[in-house]
Amino acid sequence: MSAVLEARNLTTGYGGAMVLEDLSIALNEGEVLCLIGHNGAGKSTLMKTLFGLHPAGSGEVVLRGETVTGATPKALALQGIAMVPEGRGIFPNLTVDEIFEMGMWAVGVPEAERAARRDWVLGVLPVIAEFRHRRAGTLSGGQAQMVSIGRALLSRPRILLLDEPSIGLAPKLFQDLLAPIRALQQEEGLSILLVEQNVREALKISDRVEVMKSGKMIWEGRPGELSDNRKLMELY
Amino acid sequence: MLWLQLTLTGLQTGALYALTAVGFSLIFGATRVFHFAHGAAFVLAAYVFYWADTAGLGMIPGIVLAALAAMAFGVAMDRLVYAPIQRHEGSFFTVFVASFGIGIVVENVVGMVFGRSFVTIDSTLSQSRELMEGVYVAPLAWIAIACAAVFFAALQLFLRRTHTGMALRALADSPELIRVFGLDPRRLSSIAFALGSALVVPGAVMTALGSGLNPALGHHVMLISLAATIVGGIGSIGGALVAGFVLGLAENLALIAFPSQWSEAVTFAILFLVIILRPAGLFGRATAH
């Protein structure tokens, strides 16, 4: 499998504090790569750097063989990447429909295509139709997460960066959320980089796992290999 | 008929306060920047209009120039003063002091150019006509009320129906998430400053035509804008509009019982009452998101 998105020797941080140190990682075409690690390991910083939300100190971000280090999120979105950020990726004062409309406008989806895109997302995550006219601030955690993922899908990305979608969700709700994403990924060959603390659930849908500690990758393998590694499983 | 006269004058005053306060509320609501120099934008717009009139340019070009000056000032403040402070993670207090300082600079520059004495523009629009026995109203009063209604409706349509408007409403929630969506929060911030500053223009022009100008006027405008934003509910543009009218009416109706020098005290009394009885303001939400 060829790499679609890579971080090569990435070093970055906040102020004087280094968060990522000479880190390299590759997301392959059509795979779900799960990235696990404790709080403060640098997972979210990596996601932000890959999506142009945080500057790379040194090293490169490479998209399908081309360097895109420092590219804006909009430029990356136009090249087929979407990100679902950690926490509630919604605007509480906007309705779900407004969030979808603004999300499509922001990445330049032509007006004529927007209704079809919205209908497609409502097909993938049908439960959103029940609350699409509500203000997002009134939604439950699970509903908000679905809207956040739905908004990311509206740009029809080929690469999806999911940053801890399970936060604040009950395990059953998380499973319900992951199932349609896995189905869509298999159907459309999406490449997904999934950062998760809920390791057991995340491994069920992942093809490969990388473990991160203090800004570095310390282990890489198949989900089954991680499950067999008692020491790592106890840690995470 | 004194109460009717004061009510009509209060509505005129309130209309001007309302639009100015809505401008401040729009800027603060979208960017969370305490733009104390909003009053300076008012003074700048008013004196540009006054200059255009004295230069014989006519009313419409004067209004256009005043709007351009106010918008340019707002955007320049955002780009050249607030953005660098925010880039260096300066505190709310740093922003406030910088904004307050620029307000003082504008007041002094305007004072040096136009003098510190009271100036006004003669216009038939400000000449009162007898509406009924003992009640006098100038055409400017109706224009002020109509302006408040039209500009507020246009702003609401913009915020609800356009993508940029939606993005401005979203900006206050999370500039970081705005970037995740692929939008530029700095550009949106400048749009908020341009629009919010443009909303001082009706008030500035009508003050120049009506009660007259002096360079220190910005402090009173800022006081009213701030009070209306808090009374209306922080972040609520509709609340700022209603509160602007409430303050304008209260300031005038208070004349029935108190001398005119107490008018600002009335504003503060209302402000304190609202803070005590309804801390979130008339239209604010009591709970955080």
List pLDDT tens digits, range B212-270: 999 999 998 898 889 999 999 988 899 999 999 999 999 999 998 888 888 878 888 99
Per residue in A52-97, pLDDT tens? 999 999 999 999 999 999 999 999 999 999 999 998 889 999 999 9
Most A CBs within 10 A among B180, B184, B236, B283, hence the mutation to make, goes to B180
Superfamily of domain A3-235: P-loop containing nucleotide triphosphate hydrolases (3.40.50.300)
What does the domain layout of chain A look like in residue ranges?
Answer: 3-235
ipTM here = 0.90
pLDDT attached to residue B144:
94
**What does the pLDDT look like over A163-174, one tens digit per residue?**
998 887 887 888
CA B95 centroid distance within chain: 19
- Token digits of residue B171: 């900006």
Phi, then psi, of B155 in degrees rounded to 5? -65, -45
Q: For residues A100 and A148, what is the distance between their CA atoms, to the nearest angstrom?
A: 9
Cβ contacts (< 8 Å) between B167 and chain A: which residues?
102, 106
Q: Select, from the ranges A227-236, B3-12, B125-134, the one with the highest average predicted confidence (pLDDT).
A: B3-12
Give percent of chain A above pLDDT 70.
98
Sign of CA dihedral A199, A202, A208, A212: negative
Residues of B in contact with A73 (CB under 8 A): 179-182
Yes or no: say if A7 and A24 are a contact pair by the CB < 8 Å rule.
yes
Banded model confidence at residue B285, pLDDT cuts 50, 70, 90: low
Residue range A154-162: mean pLDDT, rounded: 95
In the predicted structure, residue B16 carries a pLDDT above the cut 70: yes
Cβ distance of A77 and B182 shorter than 8 Å: yes
Three-state DSSP at A39 gives coil
Q: In whole angstroms, what is the distance from residue B137 CA to residue B127 CA? A: 8
pLDDT in tens, B178-219: 999 999 999 999 999 999 999 999 999 999 999 899 999 999
List alpha helices for A7-126, DSSP H: 43-50, 73-78, 96-106, 111-124
Number of alpha carbons in the 13 Å side-chain half-sphere of residue B200: 38
* Sheet containing A191-195, strands listed edge to edge, beginning at the edge strand earlier in sequence: A81-84, A159-163, A191-195, A32-36, A208-213, A216-221
| Residue B35, phi-psi category: left (phi > 0), alpha (psi -120 to 50), beta (remainder) | beta
Q: For residue B287, what pLDDT is reported?
A: 43
How far apart, in whole angstroms, are the C-alpha atoms of residue B146 and residue B164?
25
CB contact under 8 A, B166 and A102: yes
Q: How far, CA to CA in Å, does B84 sit from each of A148, B77, B80, B92?
A: 31, 10, 7, 13
With bands split at pLDDT 50, 70 and 90, how would you rate the model's confidence at B129? confident
Q: Looking at the complex, does the CB of residue A89 fall below 8 Å from at least one CB of chain B?
A: yes
Give the residue among A215, A218, A219 at the shortest CA–CA distance from A12. Answer: A215
Quote the CA–CA distance of A155 and A161 in Å, as a whole number. Answer: 13
Please report, in angstroms and rounded to a whole number, the separation of the first and last CA atoms in chain B: 47
Average pLDDT estimate for A205-224:
90
Whether the pLDDT of residue B289 is over 50: the answer is no
Q: Is the Cβ pair A91, B163 closer than 8 Å?
A: no
What confidence score (pLDDT) does residue B130 get?
A: 86
Tell me which of A91, A147, A160 to substitute to probe the interface with B (most B C-beta atoms closer than 10 Å): A91
pLDDT reported for residue A15: 81
Give B165's contacts (C-beta < 8 A, 6+ positions apart). B158, B159
Domains of chain B, each with CATH number or no CATH: 2-115+141-277 (1.10.3470)
Question: What percent of chain A stands above pLDDT 90?
Answer: 67
DSSP label of B286:
S
Count CA atoms closer than 13 A to B50's CA, side-chain side.
Answer: 25
Closest by CA position to B202, among listed B252, B146, B246:
B146
pLDDT of residue B288: 37
Question: Which site among A90, A102, A156 would you substitute to test the B interface, given the most B Cβ atoms closer than 10 Å to its Cβ?
Answer: A102
Helices and strands, number each (H, E), in chain B: 13, 2
Confidence at residue A1, expressed as pLDDT on a 0 to 100 scale? 67
When comparing pLDDT for A230 and A9, which is higher? A9
- Smallest Cα distance from B209 to chain A, Å: 39
List pLDDT tens digits, range B31-82: 999 999 999 999 999 999 999 999 999 999 999 999 999 999 999 999 999 9
Give which of B48, B63, B82, B70 is closest to B197, Cα–Cα. Answer: B70
Transcribe A143-190 into DSSP letters.
HHHHHHHHHHHTT--SEEEEE-TTTT--HHHHHHHHHHHHHHHHHHT-
Q: Which residues of A touch B181 (CB under 8 A)?
A: 73, 102-103, 106-107, 151
Q: What is the mean pLDDT of chain A?
A: 91
pLDDT bucket at A178, cuts 50 / 70 / 90: confident
Q: What is the mean pLDDT of residues A207-234?
A: 84
Q: Which residue has the tokens 């349509």?
A: B157
Q: Are B23 and B199 in contact (CB under 8 A)?
A: yes
Residue A114 in contact with partner chain B when CB distance is under 8 A: no
Q: What is the pLDDT of residue A235?
A: 67
CA–CA separation, B232 and B237 (whole Å): 8
- Put simply, whether B84 touches A (Cβ < 8 Å) is no
